Amino acid sequence: MEFITGVNRKETLEISELISGGWEGKTVTVNGAVHTIRDMGDVAFVVLRKREGLLQCVYEAGVTGFDLKTLKENAAVEVKGEVNREERAPGGIEIRLREIKVLTEPAAAMPIPISKWKLTSNLETILDLRPVSLRNIRERAKFKIQEGIIRGFRDFLYGEGFTEIHTPKIVSRGAEGGANIFKLDYFGKKAELAQSPQFYKQTMVGVYDRVYEAAPVFRAEKHNTKRHLNEYTSLDFEMGYIDGFEDVMAMEAGMLQYVMKLLETEYAKELKILNLTLPKTDRIPAVRFDEAKQKVSEKYNRPIRNPYDLEPEEEQLISRYFKEECDADFVFVTHYPSKKRPFYAMDDPADNTYTLSFDLLFRGIEITTGGQRIHDYDMLREKIKARGMSEEGMEHYLMIFKHGMPPHGGLGIGLERLTMKLVGEDNVRETTLFPRDLSRLEP
Amino acid sequence: MEFITGVNRKETLEISELISGGWEGKTVTVNGAVHTIRDMGDVAFVVLRKREGLLQCVYEAGVTGFDLKTLKENAAVEVKGEVNREERAPGGIEIRLREIKVLTEPAAAMPIPISKWKLTSNLETILDLRPVSLRNIRERAKFKIQEGIIRGFRDFLYGEGFTEIHTPKIVSRGAEGGANIFKLDYFGKKAELAQSPQFYKQTMVGVYDRVYEAAPVFRAEKHNTKRHLNEYTSLDFEMGYIDGFEDVMAMEAGMLQYVMKLLETEYAKELKILNLTLPKTDRIPAVRFDEAKQKVSEKYNRPIRNPYDLEPEEEQLISRYFKEECDADFVFVTHYPSKKRPFYAMDDPADNTYTLSFDLLFRGIEITTGGQRIHDYDMLREKIKARGMSEEGMEHYLMIFKHGMPPHGGLGIGLERLTMKLVGEDNVRETTLFPRDLSRLEP
């Protein structure tokens, strides 16, 4: 019997340790995957791929105790060598190799050249080969940016007094329903996959006042577009004791500001790899739905076809308008028509054709839907009735209003869409590790 | 048009602000839900439930501008009053009420007395009424502890160079399969809900070396026990370049130490509400599977029925043994029999009846399964063949080994089980917000 007392510290070093640590001239041990081998005759550059980036190692015939011919790209290795300052190498250092120990040999060469700076294969091929194409430096950088977004989302909300919750993804069939649901059999009962944590997060406002959840949601929509996925990560928050839906927009603006700051400080390496400029979040314009339609119709000479709907092209034009007029990357569009919003949306008391709700557009695409919710039991039941819906299956949801709920509102953000526009992609599959769409269920 | 520039700061104060802020004698505005009203005649105590705890407010006839008879428990209110030092009140302060504004009136009284210190109804009733029973102070404290665990898990792993990933929960049917899967139709294709992110997290080790995911997993097991759920939150990590499965155990020990420290500092309030003593994590014993069976068999005079399996009662006895012998709350049981582990588990080269794997037991129950994985392509294919399994449907998984994977290992932790044992419950439903079991699909 032995005792485990905490993390095993190793003699192998990471890139940040090598750069910061005064290791110059000393012999160190490093592990990694052989990203590329560039053989120049007597000397060869063996570049290792490590979690923090690339590390240049120099193989010298006669000095390095290893036969270079037997070294394969994508082998996992542990090497020993002397740290050398070398301004032309990534990070300004390189390792003069003494020993190479192969930990694992690959059985075959890569099907696509993942060590190229940018993958040039078409998206379908890249997705088919996702388990290995993600080893490309630019590909993996995108998902570090995604990590930064969700991390900033959580850290900011903790700081604002939100509590993290975990709500079920298998739910009883009914209520919000509709055609776009994945159905399943649950031990003989009719169940479905949750399209959103909406009812649960509202429920939890009655418990903690402010809550958030970052988790998968499922939509069986038959859209095959560049912006739709059938499974995605939804960043949801819901907050009580609001004075209006403006408080929700303000919280989102604060969150975005925090995220951008975090990316700037802790993800600078990835921003550089992807050559990104972060969007401005200090002043986000907010414009009414009807006003926004009017503005783009006038400026871009485009007739309004349906006053109660926003077409994808109109979203793009609204974004373009505010980019041109205020140099804004984000724009809140407020007061969506009631008939386009779910029953729990709070109607505008000034004109109940509209709701106290909003979308956030980012570079031409909707990345957030939010708003104030009805909190009064009787008002909610009336709205359900007026819509010709039934209360059946909604008993647990209605229970929270029956026993008292504060005024509240919230929103949901599509993580992959936000990442897509942030890293400058135009297909949401590019920023989803293993996307699920109409035709793709693998890998 | 207006501009949104960041979080709207309000004049309403939270409890921590009231306590720390030198507000004594000043008039403040506070909101919250009316938790209880204790009417003493001329004076009444109106206790508000806020996200940080309870706040005592004093109603004085003639001073407070409001008719107390019209105030209902569970109303959402905003009140104005003077801050008073009062040692007997929670937090050492109270508010002398001047004005009460009702934001929302409940339509009916609570079906169970949620303002009692401890709910006394049976578990089924509490779960049926979960949307409101969670408003009980002790109930909600359990899920703050749960938040602390997952938060500590993430923060610790970030610090150790892990990257957060999001992998699909709808997966193609096949591979790991078995009887315990929820099946669904995916646009005419056979799909299932992921039982674990196993293949994906191993895949991502090839990309980032170290990864983690905290997300729901789904098990269609027909167990109706106190320790099984059909949907739960799995805390998974996977790490490359390990020297052995001991590195994985050591990382888990470090993580648990970090979590306990975080709970101690940031969740002290909840620990006090639940009257909890945190378990020791500085020295966690590790014992071989066969040795552990032998030890408890001898000490507790219990015959070994099956040398290759661990019965729930044996898990309890092993925990009891190490509590008695080393005052340990946790114990790692290592070298599980190969036939009880999945095909990807690395067999012990010294004796391939056993694997380089472990479970972590905590107060009598398994909360983690982990170990080293096979990283060699040929070895993996041989094991698949030896088990009589087919490679069909595993092409994307096998691809990562074909093109080189470092030695690696990882684990999965059941969040609800860990929370259960930490807060001293014996039914995992107690520490699941909205549990899913054989008979429960709602709320």
DSSP string, A334-389: E--BGGGS-TTBPBPTT-TTBBSEEEEEETTEEEEEEEEE---HHHHHHHHHHTT-
Instruction: Measure in Å the smallest separation between the Cα of A108 and chain B Cα atoms.
Output: 6
Distance of CA B102 to the CA centre of its chain: 36
With contact defined as beta carbons under 8 Å apart, do A104 and B205 qualify?
A: no
pLDDT at B250 (0 to 100): 98
Which positions in chain A touch B399 (Cβ < 8 Å)? Answer: 129, 131-132, 443
- Among A15, A32, A64, A127, smallest CA distance to A443 is for A127
Which positions in chain A touch B14 (Cβ < 8 Å)? Answer: 161
Q: Give the pairing type, strands B330-334 and B284-288.
A: parallel
Residue A334 tokens read as 């407020």
- Helices A137-159 + A245-266 axis angle, to 10: 130
Residue A310 tokens read as 């926003």
pLDDT average, residue stretch B202-221: 97
- Helices B395-402 + B198-208 axis angle, to 10: 30
Q: Looking at the DSSP assignment, which residues form a beta bridge with residue A372?
A: A409
Interface contact B165-A131, CB threshold 8 A: no
With contact defined as beta carbons under 8 Å apart, do A333 and A287 qualify?
A: yes
Which positions in chain A touch B290 (Cβ < 8 Å)? Answer: none
Instruction: Measure in Å the smallest separation between the Cα of B244 and chain A Cα atoms.
Output: 11
User: Any idea what DSSP says for residue B437?
Assistant: B
Side-chain half-sphere exposure of B278, counting CA atoms within 13 A: 21
CA pair distance B432, A431, nearest whole angstrom: 31
Q: Is the dihedral of CA B290, B293, B299, B301 positive or negative?
A: negative
With contact defined as beta carbons under 8 Å apart, do A53 and A18 qualify?
A: no
Residue B79 tokens read as 């009140």
Among A75, A150, A405, the residue with its CB nearest the CB of B104 is: A405
Write out pLDDT tens, residues B296-344.
Answer: 999 999 999 999 989 899 999 999 999 999 999 999 999 999 999 999 9
pLDDT average, residue stretch B383-404: 95
Which positions in chain B touch A193 (Cβ < 8 Å)? Answer: 170, 184
Instruction: Measure in Å the smallest separation between the Cα of B159 and chain A Cα atoms.
Output: 12
Instruction: Measure in Å the smallest separation between the Cα of A64 and chain B Cα atoms.
Output: 22
Residue A428 tokens read as 């949401």
Instruction: Measure in Å the smallest separation between the Cα of B407 and chain A Cα atoms.
Output: 7
pLDDT at B21 (0 to 100): 76
CA pair distance B438, B141, nearest whole angstrom: 27
> B43 and chain A: CB distance < 8 Å anywhere?
no
Write out pLDDT tens, residues B349-382.
Answer: 999 999 999 999 999 999 999 999 999 999 999 9
The secondary element (H helix, E strand) that includes residue A81 is strand A76-85
Asked if this assembly's ipTM is beyond 0.90, the reply is yes
Give the 3-state secondary structure of residue B204.
helix
Interface contact B200-A434, CB threshold 8 A: yes
Which positions in chain B touch A233 (Cβ < 8 Å)? Answer: 166
DSSP string, B98-163: EEEEEEE--SS--SS-TTSSS--S-HHHHHHTHHHHTTSHHHHHHHHHHHHHHHHHHHHHHHTT-E
Which positions in chain B touch A376 (Cβ < 8 Å)? Answer: 104
CA pair distance B67, B52, nearest whole angstrom: 27
CB atoms within 10 A of CB A207: 25
Angle, CA of A318, A264 and B266, to the nearest 5° = 105
Phi, psi of B316 (to 5 degrees): -60, -40
How buried is residue B118: exposed, middle or buried, by Cβ count under 10 Å (0-12/13-18/19+)?
Answer: exposed
Instruction: Measure in Å the smallest separation between the Cα of B438 and chain A Cα atoms.
Output: 7
Residues 74-133 of B with CB under 8 A from A: 74-76, 78, 103-111, 129-132
Instruction: Measure in Å the smallest separation between the Cα of A145 and chain B Cα atoms.
Output: 11
With contact defined as beta carbons under 8 Å apart, do A163 and B143 qualify?
A: yes
> B25 and chain A: CB distance < 8 Å anywhere?
no
Residues in chain A: 443
Give the full edge-to-edge strand order of the sheet including B365-373: A2-4, B284-288, B330-334, B357-362, B365-373, B408-414, B231-240, B210-218, B163-164
Residues 51-80 of B with CB under 8 A from A: 51-52, 72, 74-76, 78
Write out pLDDT tens, residues B47-95.
Answer: 999 999 999 999 999 898 899 999 999 999 999 999 999 999 988 999 9
The secondary element (H helix, E strand) that includes residue A140 is helix A137-159
Which positions in chain B touch A163 (Cβ < 8 Å)? Answer: 51, 143-144, 147
Question: What Rg, from alpha-carbon coordinates, does chain A have?
Answer: 26
**In the predicted structure, residue B175 carries a pLDDT above the cut 90:** no
CA pair distance A141, A263, nearest whole angstrom: 12
Q: Which of A50, A169, A207, A362 to mutate to test the interface with B (most CBs of B within 10 A)?
A: A207
Residue A183 tokens read as 């159905």
Residues 352-381 of A with CB under 8 A from B: 375-378
pLDDT tens, N- to C-terminus, chain A (443 residues): 899 999 999 999 999 999 987 899 999 999 999 999 999 988 999 999 999 999 999 999 989 889 999 999 999 999 999 999 999 998 899 999 999 999 999 999 999 999 999 999 999 999 999 999 999 999 999 999 999 999 999 999 999 999 999 999 999 986 555 679 999 999 999 999 999 999 999 999 999 999 999 999 999 999 889 999 999 999 999 999 999 999 999 999 999 999 999 999 999 999 999 999 999 999 999 999 999 999 999 999 999 999 998 989 999 999 999 999 999 999 999 999 999 999 999 999 999 999 999 999 999 999 999 999 999 999 999 999 999 999 998 999 999 999 999 999 999 999 999 999 999 999 999 999 999 999 999 99
Q: Which of B11, B166, B321, B326 to mutate to test the interface with A (most CBs of A within 10 A)?
A: B166
pLDDT average, residue stretch B287-293: 97
Residue B134 tokens read as 């969670």
- Among B1, B81, B8, smallest CA distance to B45 is for B81
Among A132, A154, A233, the residue with its CB nearest the CB of B399 is: A132
pLDDT average, residue stretch B239-256: 98
Distances (CA, A) of A434 to A42, A129, A144, A284, B415: 42, 10, 15, 32, 24
Interface contact A170-B436, CB threshold 8 A: yes
CA pair distance A45, A61, nearest whole angstrom: 12
Q: Which residues have C-beta within 8 Å of that of residue A337, sequence separation ≥ 6?
A: A289, A307, A308, A309, A353, A354, A355
Which positions in chain A touch B160 (Cβ < 8 Å)? Answer: 7
Distances (CA, A) of B164 to A169, A326, B211, B238, B241: 20, 35, 6, 11, 18
CA pair distance A155, A262, nearest whole angstrom: 10
Interface contact A140-B207, CB threshold 8 A: yes
Interface contact A1-B161, CB threshold 8 A: no
Interface contact B441-A191, CB threshold 8 A: yes
With contact defined as beta carbons under 8 Å apart, do A82 and A97 qualify?
A: no
Among B160, B164, B204, the residue with its CB nearest the CB of A7 is: B160
CA pair distance A221, A193, nearest whole angstrom: 13
Interface contact B187-A438, CB threshold 8 A: yes
Q: Looking at the DSSP assignment, which residues form a beta bridge with residue B96?
A: B58, B82
Residue A125 tokens read as 């091929």
The secondary element (H helix, E strand) that includes residue A319 is helix A312-326
pLDDT average, residue stretch B18-45: 94
Among B1, B166, B397, the residue with its CB nearest the CB of A285 is: B1
Which positions in chain B touch A203 (Cβ < 8 Å)? Answer: 131, 134, 443
pLDDT average, residue stretch B254-269: 98
DSSP string, B370-429: EEEE---HHHHHHHHHHTT---TT-HHHHHHHHT---SEEEEEEEHHHHHHHHHT-S-GG
Which positions in chain B touch A405 (Cβ < 8 Å)? Answer: 76, 104
The secondary element (H helix, E strand) that includes residue B20 is helix B15-20
Among B103, B135, B253, the residue with its CB nearest the CB of A6 is: B253
Interface contact B164-A151, CB threshold 8 A: yes
Interface contact A31-B406, CB threshold 8 A: yes
Give the 3-state secondary structure of residue B46.
strand
Phi, psi of A69 (to 5 degrees): -60, -25
Question: Count of CB contacts below 8 A, A vs B?
Answer: 341
- Name the pTM for this structure: 0.97
Interface contact A33-B406, CB threshold 8 A: yes
Interface contact A210-B3, CB threshold 8 A: no
Distance of CA A151 to the CA centre of its chain: 10
CB atoms within 10 A of CB B330: 25
With contact defined as beta carbons under 8 Å apart, do B358 and B242 qualify?
A: no
pLDDT at B205 (0 to 100): 98
Residues 289-318 of A with CB under 8 A from B: 291
Residue A87 tokens read as 């301004």
> A157 and chain B: CB distance < 8 Å anywhere?
no
> B188 and chain A: CB distance < 8 Å anywhere?
no
Interface contact A283-B4, CB threshold 8 A: yes
Q: Is the dihedral of CA A272, A276, A281, A283 positive or negative?
A: positive
Is the backbone of residue A261 left (phi > 0), alpha (psi -120 to 50) or beta? alpha
Q: Which of B403, B405, B416, B436 to mutate to test the interface with A (most CBs of A within 10 A)?
A: B403
Write out pLDDT tens, residues A232-265.
Answer: 999 999 999 999 999 999 999 999 999 999 999 9
CA pair distance A440, B396, nearest whole angstrom: 13
Among B14, B154, B200, the residue with its CB nearest the CB of A161 is: B14
**In the predicted structure, residue B407 carries a pLDDT above the cut 70:** yes
> A11 and chain B: CB distance < 8 Å anywhere?
no
Residues in chain B: 443
Interface contact B434-A168, CB threshold 8 A: yes
CA pair distance A77, A72, nearest whole angstrom: 10
Which amino acid belongs to residue A323? K
Give the 3-state secondary structure of residue B91.
helix
Closest A-chain CA to B30: A241
